[in-house]
Structure 1
């Protein structure tokens, strides 16, 4: 059951308007934050557990934003379009209304901008860099990356709402895309820990993740403490990886081991490579996956998913990743 305080936030906007255009099938406003009146949902996606790289500062180098926060949990991505010219809907008004809602609900604004310069937070160049780690697919939402033919401006707001079960992060990216269209993307991250060891994977899930992202993090392949010896329960996950590989004989993968930050870099490089090699050996010997399709690699703790300052973060960092070779 959702925290009742979340629903109070939704009441800050009027949602009784009759929308001229139909929302995409299966979509809905998030209970935390409803739409600007007159908007319709043109793209919608939700995932039970997604790692989200939240940008809160300006561009600081080539395709680099120094101020980023990594969060993980249930993610809702809702892309809205609001038909109408500047005399009917003002991008400044959309921006101001969302800021007002944040303030009344006690949401801490982490960053905000209206009509910023290109590389500043919320600027024309910034949005592509900010959303690169979780860029929406080529759909209606891709308009945010296509640029605008008018001087209608852009805006962005990032906020944080505390709750007993973990914080909620809200990011809104918007623009006047044309003389007759304002569009904006709302990303809401309800933070929580992954159900490590209980997340069910299947060949279709692996195929979707590898096609969309080029890599997929795998949990549930467990090893003995401080060793590369596979635990018996690893076969439940390896069964699904093998099924994916058998159905797609052309696919070749890197199998990459990752550790937490306990111990030295050199030691963890060796351990992560040994664990990746154990996975490859098991798939080749027990599941008869052709040798050469899988190449092991070890990155130690050089590509963390979360902080190493907590048990939950370290658990997220100890993982195996599958990365497409071709």
Structure 2
């Protein structure tokens, strides 16, 4: 008997799950943070049926021993009563990895719109209260807004998960864009809007971080919405981590809600806020840092040991920051951005 357990290989996931000899496959999966379809947990409903591609298991109920050495054969077992006799390879339909959220499409109430500066608006939404429509998202994720004609566009969720049903978006209105005009017209004229969420892997949960990590949040323009969601989540959970926020804008008037991160820095000793204006010649009253955002970060960091960067902005800004940080020994694996998913380098 393998006292240390067996390896359970899942779908196309590289890292196997450890299963003890007398542990059911379902129990091992849930202990490792995975989620799958299941109901009765005693083998009656058969909801947790999975495909055994390779290996041998003992099923307690209905009692049977199953083996498959040929991935082409269709051998099915019940995860809630099956225990391993060898290392296993299985395929599980609808398996959710640890931290993975179920994407849902729903209709949200539009609660209000307010102007934050000359072209950015804060949109307040409220999700349905119905339990079956409840949304579980992680700070830093985004949503897709779907218009009646089927066109859709993505916006970072600017509120923390702790705000429950109430969501906040920061939307820049670009009058020369038909899509932007259509979005604003719908939000101003209608009572509800269709959403699909949550989406995105550039997110952060307070219960899953190393307290020694120094976080740099680098945002350009309305990329601040994503930063706001994450920082408010971290502060709500009283994390001790050092938090450095860099917010870049072309001109001073492009900034908005800057009093909020200033307040974070004033009230929390572990928070530092650095706004940066790249065209100071058109911002005569600006007294803060000037230049490009990547240069501002490098002015403050000689090395990036123990640092993780979350970057929210255009592909040009994100990759410029990555390239600049790499000159100081930074590793790309330490940077997180949605840009890597929708605009990968070739």
Short-chain TM bin:
under 0.3
Who wins on radius of gyration, i.e. which is larger?
2
Structure with the greater relative contact order (CA < 8 A, sep ≥ 6): 1 or 2? 1
